[in-house]
Amino acid sequence: MFSERIGGLAGDDHAPLYKQLQRALREAIQKKVLGPDDALPAERDMAEEFNISRITVRKALDGLVSEGLLTRRQGAGTFVAARVEKSFSKLTSFTEDMISRGRVPRSEWISKAMGAVTPEESLTLGLSPGTPVFRFARIRYADGAPMALEYSTVAGFALPSAEVVGVSLYEALEATGHRPARALQRLRAVLFTAEQAELLGVPVKDAGLLIERRSFLPDGRAVEVTQSYYRGDAYDFVAELNALS
Ligand code: 16G
């Protein structure tokens, strides 16, 4: 039975039932009880097994679909997402994205250094010329497979040194109270250059997505600008849109 496989609902807390079902599914994905492309039972069967209404099941699944953990296929049902489906509306880090999908994140450093802001960065980050910044270049892996190349520039005031950044940049920023609260992103299709292709282990001119994220602190100061080159065959970007009201 599916409910036995994923461990059933907590039952002992006061969270709404759809949240309890979401938590059970999330944990099953994180612990790899459910793997990529695994099909979920039909909504009506889940409702019966968990003894909750079909509307509650639908609400729980809708939420996980818009987070990118699950995916719906017309006429076939709901599945655990196989490609990384990344929500465009959540300000999460690569590390968090991978952990929530049951994958193990790792980074290989290309470079980690302190320097002075370039004229271009001084415009994007709103820093005066000559201000110190940190630059981080990394290959990002999930379960040992290369997923993205990331080039980040972080305002000097946000970190005590480049060395404090371990696996996660956002964790280091959080520790100093400078985790971004808001971001602007722009996305563009690219073909990987020979150098990029080699770092990612894909053929030259393979398709990729370049996402530039400029992120800000609650007080409005820009803290980070990152260019992420994601493998086009590994990612889907998902956004929830609401009609103008
Ligand atoms: C994501 C962000 C990137 C951020 C990084 C931090 C996108 C498009 N980019 O990859 O801007 O620097 O996460 O990840 O989502 P980390 O905390 O694991 O180092």
Q: What is the pLDDT of residue 240?
A: 79
Q: What is the DSSP letter of 40?
A: P
Task: Sketch out the chain's domains with CATH numbers.
Answer: 2-80 (1.10.10.10), 84-238 (3.40.1410.10)
Q: Which two tokens stand for residue 229?
A: 């080159």
In residues, how long is the chain? 245
Is 168 touching ligand 1 by the criterion CB < 6 Å? yes
Instruction: Tell whether ligand 1 has an atom less than 6 A from the beta carbon of residue 170.
Output: yes
pLDDT value of residue 49: 93
Q: Position of tokens 């599945």?
A: 79
Half-sphere exposure of 231 (CA within 13 A, CB side): 20
Cα 95 to Cα 7, 60, 100, 111, 141: the distances in Å are 26, 24, 9, 18, 10
94 C-beta closer than 6 A to ligand 1: yes
Cα–Cα distance measured from residue 126 to residue 121, given in angstroms and rounded to the nearest whole number: 8
Residue whose Cα lies nearest atom 13 of ligand 1: it is 93
Query: Does 134 contact ligand 1 (Cβ within 6 A)?
Result: no
**How far does the centroid of ligand 1 lie from the alpha carbon of residue 94, in Å?**
5
In the reported structure, the alpha carbon of residue 49 is separated from the centroid of ligand 1 by a whole-number distance in angstroms of: 38
Spans of the chain, pLDDT less than 50: none
User: What is the predicted pLDDT for the residue at 11?
Assistant: 67
